[in-house]
Every structure is written in structure tokens, then in C-alpha cells.
């Protein structure tokens, strides 16, 4: 169950909306921010809090790719693979990340420090090729920038 303090925070979000279910995406963001992922337990608690069946929470969690159902690395690379980035070399970037981290897209390193995934357009094609390192946009990617990020977060 959520603690009273936690519920106070959730109420703040919920009260912005005419219908409580509309608060679901911001609430999921809030919960993920605290717990790093959305667990089945959290889905159940949110369902109870909003008064809607847990299946509706789960279908939303699995539909949107920003919600994680498995633990990801402390440092998560979301690498754009769409046209503008591909034209500027994202395939090489992806291959280099695989080589450096020794993992495939969707995997996490055994020490839990890094994970990476392939995403579609991040809306920053002017600095392609790009990726997000957690929430930060890192643009005009090259091997050196990847190396620096890996060293910094190791």
C-alpha cells in the first residue's frame, strides 16, 4: 500500500484533472521516478488508488515505451534509429555501444550499471545522431562521446 505522504503527492497530481483516471500517465511517471520501474505491486496500488481495474493500468504500462516493467541500468541509453539519425550514422553508433557494453538492445549489463534500447525519433534530428542518456539528450554522437559517458558512469 502507498503511505499517507505518498498519497498526498498523488492527490496533488490527481486534483488537476476532471476525471481521476486522466492522472494515470503523470502518476506512473511519478511512481517510476521513485521506484525506477513499474512493478505489478505498484500497478495494483495505483489501481486501488484510482479505483479502476488493474488490467487497465497494466495495458497502459505495456503500451507506452517510457514505462519499464523490468529494472534497467543506472545509466540507460535510448538510441534513435529513425531516418534522420540513420542518415547520419546511428547504425555505427549502435554497433559501437553493443561492442563497448557487450550487450544487445533491451539488455542490461550484469553489474546493473548500463542498459540500452533502440527508440524511434526523439525529436532532435538537428543534432543527429542522438540518444538519451536517462533523460538527457546527447547529440552529434561519436565514439568519443560514448566512451566519455561510459567512463563517467562506470
Partner 1 sequence: MEKIVTRHFDQPNSHLLETYLKDKGYEAARKAITQMTPATVIEEVKKSNLRGLGGAGFPTGTKWSFIPQANPKPKYLVINGDEGEPGTFKDKYIFELDPHALLEGIIITCFAIGSHKAYIYIRGEYAKSLERVQAAVDEASKSGYLGKGIMGTGFDIDVVVHPGAGAYICGEETALLESLEGKKGFPRLKPPFPAVVGLFGCPTVINNVETIACVPPIINKGAEWYAKLGSEKNGGNRLFCVSGHVVKPGVYELPNGTTLREIIYDHAGGIPNGRKLKAVIPGGISAPILTPDQLDVKMDFDSLKSIGSMAGSGGIIVMDDTTDMVWAAMIAARFFAHESCGQCSPCREGSGWVYRNIKKLYHGHAREHDLKNLPGIVNNIGGNTICAFGDAITMSVGSYVSKFRGEFEAKIKKESVCRI
Minimum Å gap between C-beta 110 and partner 1 is 26
| Among 2, 7, 22, 100, contact with partner 1 (rule: CB under 8 A) | 22
Q: Using the rule CB under 8 A, is 38 a contact of partner 1?
A: no
Q: Is 119 a binder of partner 1 (CB under 8 A)?
A: yes
Residues with Cβ within 8 Å of 49's Cβ and at least 6 positions away in sequence, in order, are: 2, 7, 10, 27
Span from 1-9, 98-106, 107-115, 128-136 in contact with partner 1 (CB under 8 A): 128-136
Characterise 29 by phi-psi region: left (phi > 0), alpha (psi -120 to 50), beta (else): alpha
> Which of the 8 DSSP states describes residue 126?
G
Q: Is 26 in the site for partner 1 (CB under 8 A)?
A: yes
The reply to whether 132 sits near partner 1 by the rule CB under 8 A is: yes
The total of other beta-carbon atoms located within 10 Å of residue 52's CB is 14
Instruction: Locate 1 and state its grid cell.
Output: 500500500
110 touches partner 1 by CB under 8 A:
no
Amino acid at each position: 500500500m502507498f503511505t499517507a505522504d505518498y498519497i498526498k503527492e498523488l492527490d496533488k497530481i490527481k486534483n488537476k484533472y476532471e476525471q481521476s483516471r486522466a492522472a494515470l500517465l503523470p502518476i506512473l511517471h511519478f511512481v517510476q521516478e521513485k521506484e525506477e520501474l513499474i512493478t505489478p505491486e505498484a500497478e495494483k496500488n495505483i489501481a486501488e488508488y484510482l479505483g479502476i481495474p488493474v488490467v487497465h493500468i497494466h495495458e497502459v504500462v505495456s503500451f507506452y515505451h517510457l514505462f519499464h516493467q523490468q529494472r534497467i541500468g543506472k545509466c540507460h541509453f535510448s538510441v534513435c534509429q529513425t531516418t534522420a539519425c540513420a542518415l547520419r550514422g546511428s547504425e555505427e553508433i549502435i554497433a559501437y555501444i553493443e561492442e563497448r557494453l557487450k550487450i544487445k538492445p533491451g539488455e542490461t549489463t550484469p553489474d546493473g550499471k548500463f542498459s540500452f534500447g533502440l527508440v524511434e525519433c526523439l525529436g532532435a534530428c538537428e543534432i543527429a545522431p542522438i540518444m538519451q542518456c536517462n533523460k538527457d539528450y546527447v547529440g552529434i554522437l561519436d565514439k568519443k562521446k560514448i566512451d566519455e559517458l561510459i567512463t563517467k558512469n562506470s
